[in-house]
Amino acid sequence: MTTTLRPAGPEDRDGEGHRARRYDICVNSRRVGGVRLTTDPLTGPATGRIEELAVDAADRRRGRATVAALAAEEVLRGWGCRRIAVTAPAGGEAALRLAAALGYTERAHHLAKVIVAVPQPPPGAEDRPLAADGYPSWRAAAVADRARLLAAPGLTSDEATRAAEAEHRALLPEGAATPHHAVRLLSVGGTGVGHVWTALRPPDLPGGRVLDVFVAPEHRGHGHGRALLGVAERECLAAGAPLIALTVRADDTAARGLCAALGYRPTGLLLAKPLL
């Protein structure tokens, strides 16, 4: 029997070069599941994504998903993608086994928390909103830091920088005054130690999302990350959003440990690999 992908509808494209299309997973023309393929909305055609891959219960454990994933990689290569990413749900052991067998590696962990109460800030800690005159320098540093996080096999440093700049333009079109976003600066004893940027009404969540949390290297190890997450949680509660989510790199064990201690729980795992 031959497992193939068959287009299940027209391809969607936009002016930015992003593409998406649904496919049926077929065995000898019989539909046994489906998958949606897209280019990443942030990095464009450099990164492809496999989404919503599912095989009907009666056809599972026969290698259908493996063959479908490999066929999806070929489609994305044809689209010009040089890197591929998938998100496995927390506890999705079958999806994780499949991804590992196909050579995907962990890139980031998606976490979330229901906010019950916000801890009090430590003594001497104060936070304030980012002022308009401080936005250009903050943005330049934030874009550079984000580009370093986006840089990965299959994505050049120039592409990562362009993606980070595009993300900031899309999310903060009015700078620090963009509605439903809070950029707060934290100082301790009058010394600036870091910042946290929170989207209070992201389109993909019923709560808020921490988009960036940063502690200056010389001030790390003193609990400021905990304080900044407390600021983000407070902003979410004030906006009527008692749920908060964030993403941490898989190799950032310190951040993952802090989030676990604060009650954040895994919701998904981002995996990726280069398309050779």
Residues whose CB falls within 8 Å of the CB of residue 94, separated by 6 or more in sequence, listed in order: 65
Which residues lie across from 5 on neighbouring strands? 25
Q: Which of the four pLDDT bands, split at 50, 70 and 90, describes residue 143?
A: very high
Alpha-carbon distances of 72 from 44, 86, 103, 212, rounded to whole Å: 17, 11, 14, 32
Tokens of 134: 């401080």
pLDDT digits over 151-172, tens only?
Answer: 766 678 888 898 899 889 989 9
* pLDDT of residue 204 exceeding 90: no
Per-residue pLDDT tens for 68-100? 999 999 999 999 998 999 999 988 888 889 999
168 vs 216: CA distance, rounded Å? 20
Q: How far, in Å, are 94, 101, 110, 113, 258 from residue 233 at the CA level?
A: 33, 38, 16, 9, 14
Res 212: pLDDT = 94
Q: Which residues contact 76 (CB under 8 A, 6 or more apart)?
A: 37, 48, 50, 84, 275
Percent above pLDDT 70 for the chain: 98
Q: What angle do CA 208, 212, 218 make, to 5 degrees?
A: 140
Q: Which domains does the chain have, with CATH numbers?
A: 3-81 (3.40.630.30), 113-267 (3.40.630.30)
Lowest mean pLDDT among 100-114, 144-158, 161-175: 144-158
Confidence at residue 156, expressed as pLDDT on a 0 to 100 scale: 82
What are the residue ranges of helices labelled H in 102-153?
135-150
Structure tokens given for 215: 């502690």
Q: What is the pLDDT of residue 77?
A: 94
Pairing of strands 208-215, 243-249: parallel
Most confident of 111-120, 180-189, 201-210: 180-189
